[in-house]
Amino acid sequence: MVGIIGWPVSGSLSPVIHNAAFSALDLDWAYVPMPVPPGSVAHAIEGLRCLGFAGANVTMPHKTEVAQRVDALTEDATLLDAVNTIVVGPEGLTGHNTDAPGFDRFLRRDAGFEPEGRAALLFGGGGAARACALALAHGGLAELTVALRDPARDAGIRATLEGAPTSLSIVAFGDASTVHADLVVNATPIGAQGESLPVPPLRADAVVVDLLYRPAGTPLQALARSAGAAAFGGLGLLLQQAALSFELWTGQVPPLDVMSAAAVAALAEGGPKTEHGDRTT
């Protein structure tokens, strides 16, 4: 048994994705939603151990609290102060964060973008944005500009990249339109209702990633395609992160094609919706 801890979790795509993968590989596993209200996290993660669970995903609003309560943390989970995957082992509960490595896999394998020596513009400073920033820094990005509604609220992103060789600049949203970037990433909810971001002129060789996957096409993606640039939504990233969790629990390579088909079908049917900010589930 594995599952997802969050509040709420009724909108998560993770049960659809993982159960399709378990079925495809003929694994006797099941993935279940586990709604855990605020204040009950300690009991919930202890219950994983007591009930014989192999692990769990963690979604909002519990990622940071779980990071403070597990027995051990990986390096990425420590840097991000957030856990989105728990592995139950003989030594206790280990907290992982697959957001950063998932974004790296997505960029390299799906988008064909190599960050080393390049420049990127990132909108947002929340958990998803910090994971993207960490992945880019690990990948050797030369310059990162982060656009924030309030540039004074930059402590989280600066702490995440402390000691990294990547040059970091913080700008207000209004100043983002003048930034040079090979990669543009939207890690905010802007665009879900048709809003536009102050994006700089895009070259045809630029790559644009909108972490939203509802709606299927956002204004940012449309703008990128009109400029001849490559544009991607958030579904590919979601799948790569889910795949990393799957590998941690089962030790097997997940069938990404099956997981993708299940997610696309659920979205097309108007199935589970994921709350904003949860890029894993």
Annotate 106-156 with DSSP letters as a single string.
IIIIIS----TT-EEEEE--SHHHHHHHHHHHHTT-SEEEEEESSTT--HH
- Per-residue pLDDT band for 65 (boundaries 50, 70, 90) equals very high
Same CATH fold assignment for domains 2-98+236-268 and 100-234: yes
Q: What is the pLDDT of residue 271?
A: 54
Q: Specify the pLDDT at position 268.
A: 87
The percentage of residues in the chain with a pLDDT greater than 90, rounded to a whole number, is 90
Helix 256-268 and helix 14-24, axial crossing angle in degrees, nearest 10: 140
Domain ranges of the chain: 2-98+236-268, 100-234
- Of the candidates 63, 96, 118, 138, the residue annotated as catalytic is 63
Is the domain spanning 2-98+236-268 CATH 3.30.465.10? The answer is: no
Nearest to 84 by CA among 5, 198, 162: 5
Assess whether 273 carries a catalytic annotation. no
Question: For the whole model, what pTM was predicted?
Answer: 0.90
Nearby residues of 159 by Cβ (< 8 Å), 6 or more positions away: none
The CATH class for the domain spanning 100-234 reads: alpha beta
Compute the distance between CA of residue 196 and CA of residue 198 in angstroms, rounded to an integer. 7
